[in-house]
Structure 1
Amino acid sequence: MKIVVIGGTGLIGSKVIRRFEAHGHEAVAAAPNTGVNTLTGEGLAEALVGASVVVDLSNSPSFEAKAVMDFFTTSTTNLLAAEAEAGVGHHVALSIVGTERMPENGYFAAKLAQEKLIKESGIPYSLVHATQFFEFVKAIADSATQEDGVHIPPVGWQPMAGDDVADQVAKTAVGEPLNGRRDIAGPDRYRMDEFFSKALAEMGDKREVITDADGTYFGSKVKEDSLVPIGEATLGRIHYGEWSPS
């Protein structure tokens, strides 16, 4: 089948494309650098001709609250309209575990708005909610860094490898639409502060990790279960200790 991957040249998108191609599907990597822009609509109709499935892995270039909201609402509106015109039968979107529990976070609020548009579109859909990626550990630590160290709250934390994310997104895309969501997470649950203390030390990063009950996640307060699945979740196979960037 023909599967169009929006954001197909990115971290997860490029991995998903390789999985589709390995199983004989026609996989199209759609991104601004391949001539497809969901914000302006450029190249969108052409890319979707004959597509059975669209996988949306796009991401906002800015994390500022208004900019990210504008990105996801405009991009998703354009994409869903083009899919309806092309007769696409399955829309898959990657989102984040805990979005509904942290609506005060500008990025999470934008993902919730994106999901609402998808649910109301009339196009059969599947939402994949993933925990944070191993690949973003340093960026998360950077966002939590203050003068005296990295302030991390002592809450639940269950990150996963990008390869496991790609496996589950690809599997969902070739299956029947869920018309609902699937939560996915890493195989191990940690205390967030303990994880970062060990992970940064293993990277040779000498910043001190400070356990801080008032520590935030990209500026938002978090509770014990803010960033981990509640209830059933599909777990990845790659443990952090086994993982290496690829």
Structure 2
Amino acid sequence: MKIVVIGGTGLIGTKVVGNLRGKGHEVVPASPNTGVNTITGEGLAEALVGAQVLIDLANAPSFADADVMNFFKTAGANLAKAAKVAGIRHYIALSVVGSDRLPDSGYLRAKVAQEELIKESGIPHTIIRSTQFFEFVDGIAHAGTQDGTVHLSPAHLQPIAADDVAALVARVAVMAPANGIIELAGPELIGLDDLVRRYLTVKRDARKVVTDVHARYFGTELNDKSLTPGDNPHLGPTTYQEWLNRQAANA
């Protein structure tokens, strides 16, 4: 089976490509540095020739509200058009758990817009909404830092390892389209403040984490339901402590 992975050279994309190639599939990692640009459309039609499955894992280069909305709307429209012409039989996209519950976040509004373009395309599809990746904890700490102190909400998350995300994406790629949304999360609930506090401890980072229920997470306030999945999500097996232990071992 030929599978095209948009964003195939990124964090999740490289893992998905390796996973699917290991199972004998013809996989094309597509990104601007491989000559495929979803914003301009350059190389897109050529990459999709003969493909049965399209996986969109690309992310916006800027998280500014207008930029991220333009990215996902433009790329989404170009992908849907090219996928229809190519006769794609399964269009898969990675989105975010809770994206439709947090309209104050420009990034999540853009992810909802991307999802709607896929649904409206008429192409058989599966939208995988994932919780936050362990690998993004450093960025969360940076975003919450004010004058050397990290201000974060205690709201619960159910974060997940990138390896576990990639494993499910690869599984879905060879399954029948769900024609809807499936959710993916890690195995445990963790407060956002504690998530970062434990990471900084492992990294021997002296920044103090201050718990603040009104602290904004990329533009929006959180509660325990904001970024946690609904009933019966797919669960990745890797615990946060297991992942932290690997970070410590590789330090």
Deviation at 1:195, TM superposition (A): 2.3
Q: 2: CA distance between counterparts of 1:214 and 1:54?
A: 39
CA deviation string 1:116-168 (max 9, x = no partner) = 01001010000000011111101001101112511111111111100000001
Aligned residues: 246
Q: 2: CA distance between counterparts of 1:48 and 1:188?
A: 38
User: Which residue matches 2:207?
Assistant: 207
Q: 2: CA distance between counterparts of 1:120 and 1:60?
A: 21
Q: Does 1:112 align with 2:112?
A: yes
* Greater Cα offset, 22-31 or 200-209: 200-209
Deviation at 1:216, TM superposition (A): 1.2
Deviation at 1:107, TM superposition (A): 0.4
Deviation at 1:24, TM superposition (A): 0.3
Structure 2 gaps, min length 5:
none
Letter of the aligned partner of 1:131 in structure 2?
T
Give SS of 1:210's match. Answer: strand
Letter of the aligned partner of 1:22 in structure 2?
G
User: Which residue matches 2:3?
Assistant: 3
User: Which residue matches 1:63?
Assistant: 63
User: Which residue matches 2:164?
Assistant: 164
Q: Does 1:126 align with 2:107?
A: no
CA deviation string 1:166-196 (max 9, x = no partner) = 0011111110000011110111111222222
Deviation at 1:230, TM superposition (A): 2.1
**RMSD over equivalenced CA pairs, Å:** 1.1
Q: Show structure 1 runs of 4+ deviating over 4 A.
A: none
Q: Does 1:84 align with 2:92?
A: no
Deviation at 1:91, TM superposition (A): 0.1
Letter of the aligned partner of 1:224 in structure 2?
D
Residues 1-246 of structure 1 mapped to structure 2, 5 A cutoff: 1-147=1-147, 149-243=149-243, 244=246
Identity among equivalent positions (%) equals: 52
Q: TM-score, normalization: structure 2?
A: 0.96
